[in-house]
């Protein structure tokens, strides 16, 4: 389980669910995702896309973006999308996570 100060990780994937000891964490949605995505005026103008491979060997893309909040500075986030078997899935979402050289 991720501690509150660690990046949010969303694991509702078949590969992740098959892992020994996997537990889902509803608090992540209520405590991290909902507040982050609730009060914004739009997406930032910059999107960087790169290739990615997850820990299960699934390949896809990482999208490095910003939300423009109603108040304050733009907030970075990353969405990882991979092909798992024949399905495209969101493999991970990191909120308030800045990646040097990727977030422009």
The domain limits of the chain are 14-95
Greatest CA separation for the chain = 42
Question: Would you say 23 and 1 are in contact if contact means Cβ atoms under 8 Å apart?
Answer: yes
Lookup result for tokens 């733009």? 74
Q: Is the pTM of this model over 0.85?
A: no
Task: For 43-99, write each residue's pLDDT tens digit.
Answer: 999 999 999 998 888 899 999 999 998 888 999 999 999 988 888 888 888 888 888
């Amino acid at each position: 389980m991720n501690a509150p100060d660690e990046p949010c990780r969303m694991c509702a994937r078949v590969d992740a669910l098959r892992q020994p000891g996997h537990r889902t964490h509803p608090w992540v949605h209520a405590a991290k995702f909902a507040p982050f995505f609730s009060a914004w005026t739009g997406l930032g103008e910059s999107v960087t896309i790169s290739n990615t491979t997850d820990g299960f060997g699934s390949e896809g893309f990482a999208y490095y973006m910003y939300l423009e909040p109603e108040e304050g500075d733009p907030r970075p986030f990353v969405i990882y999308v991979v092909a798992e078997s024949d399905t495209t899935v969101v493999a991970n979402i990191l909120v308030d996570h800045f990646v040097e050289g990727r977030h422009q």
